[in-house]
A = this chain, B = another copy of it.
Amino acid sequence: MTPPPKDTPAQMQKQDESTGLSALVQSRNQRSIRDDGSFNIEQRGLPFVEPSDVYQELITMPWWKFNTIVLSSYALVNTLFAVLYYVIGLQHLTNIEGTTEWERFLDAFFFSAQSLTTVGYGRVAPVGIPASTLAAFESLLGLMGFALATGLIYGRFSKPKAKILHSKNMIMAPYQGGEALMFRIANGRKTQLVEAEVSVTLGKIRVEDGKEIRRYFQLDLERSKISLFPMAWTIVHPINDKSPLFQKTQHDFVREDIEVMVYIKAFDETFSDTVHHRISYKAEDLIWGARFVLPYEQQADGKTIHHLNKVGEFIRVELAASPKEEVQEVLRKS
């Protein structure tokens, strides 16, 4: 593959050290940002796992996984206590009526469940010091476990989760006689977002001293902040001589392994908290020569309908002034 062209001095100067990514040395065809918005870096040597890391894990895992963990912990703890009651002797529990040992063990298991949940029917009840002590401890443990569950369930719900929809593609679109790199975002939840800010960082491979090195640049935007965000927002990076993308062809996007990293921050009024979102576009997500379609429709009664599933819809257009190059085969290879 042809090495990427050298940048102009103006493009050299635009390099941005303040992104915190200067040392990120991803190889070609690796995204810096994963689909879930996390950085594509493996952290090793983390000292040790802390309780709050486990808690955080329990907060963010999917519901089916969380429920599975709750149910199996419940079964496990009850089994452990059932074993302990069995060891102490089931004659210390009233009304154990199982005829086989297995049924008697299950009676202990259910007594444990009744203690842990503090339902305590009392048909089976502890008698004597060892069983009573164990039951007293178990119901305290149950309360504490339940306190934990309350916090977990509250935590799972109460943290604001932005669902920023973004166009699947970024497009090179006609803009004020020239071109601009555009993509579009919208709020995918019913909450009200205000004071939305976006910052866009370009990562690309540059040859320095004969070595390929990945460099990062802040892209200037036509507008980087809006006070209200009720509708789709088209983010526009005009291609001019200050842009690190000036005079680049679609081919260059592939050759320089370009990645456009988007960082969105907004205030969620409903949750009264700040939400964040990151997107990564790569060369294969670029549509060279397109224009976004307006995702709005006005009803007969004058009401505006916003079609969220049309946020990324575009039509192909010709780009008059831009450098052209055949890149179809290149794209097919990568």
> Which residues of A does B touch, CB under 8 Å?
17-21, 23-30, 37-47, 50-53, 55-56, 60, 63, 70-71, 74, 78, 94, 97, 103, 106-107, 110, 113-115, 117-127, 129, 132-133, 135-136, 139-140, 142-144, 146-161, 163, 165, 188-192, 194, 196, 199, 223, 225-233, 263, 267, 269-276, 294, 296, 298, 302-310
The complex places the Cα of A119 from the Cα of B121 at a distance, in Å, of 8
Contact in complex: B121, A125 (CB < 8 Å):
yes
Q: Which residues of B contact A192 (CB under 8 A)?
A: 37-39, 276
- Least CB distance from A243 to B in Å reads 19
Nearest residue, chain B, Cβ from A267:
B274
The complex places the Cα of A230 from the Cα of B159 at a distance, in Å, of 22
Q: Which residues of B contact A308 (CB under 8 A)?
A: 43-47
Check A139/B122 contact, CB under 8 A, given A18-B225, A28-B302.
no
Contact in complex: B153, A232 (CB < 8 Å):
no
Contact in complex: B27, A302 (CB < 8 Å):
yes
Contact in complex: A139, B127 (CB < 8 Å):
no
Q: Which residues of B contact A146 (CB under 8 A)?
A: 143, 147, 150
- Least CB distance from A85 to B in Å reads 14
Contact in complex: A228, B19 (CB < 8 Å):
yes
Q: Which residues of B contact A269 (CB under 8 A)?
A: 276
- Which of the residues B44, B125, B199 comes within 8 Å of A123, measured between beta carbons? B125
Q: Which residues of B contact A18 (CB under 8 A)?
A: 223, 225-227
Q: Which residues of B contact A114 (CB under 8 A)?
A: 119-120, 135-136, 139
Contact in complex: B70, A305 (CB < 8 Å):
no
Q: Which residues of B contact A159 (CB under 8 A)?
A: 271-272
The complex places the Cα of A272 from the Cα of B71 at a distance, in Å, of 29
The complex places the Cα of A55 from the Cα of B17 at a distance, in Å, of 41
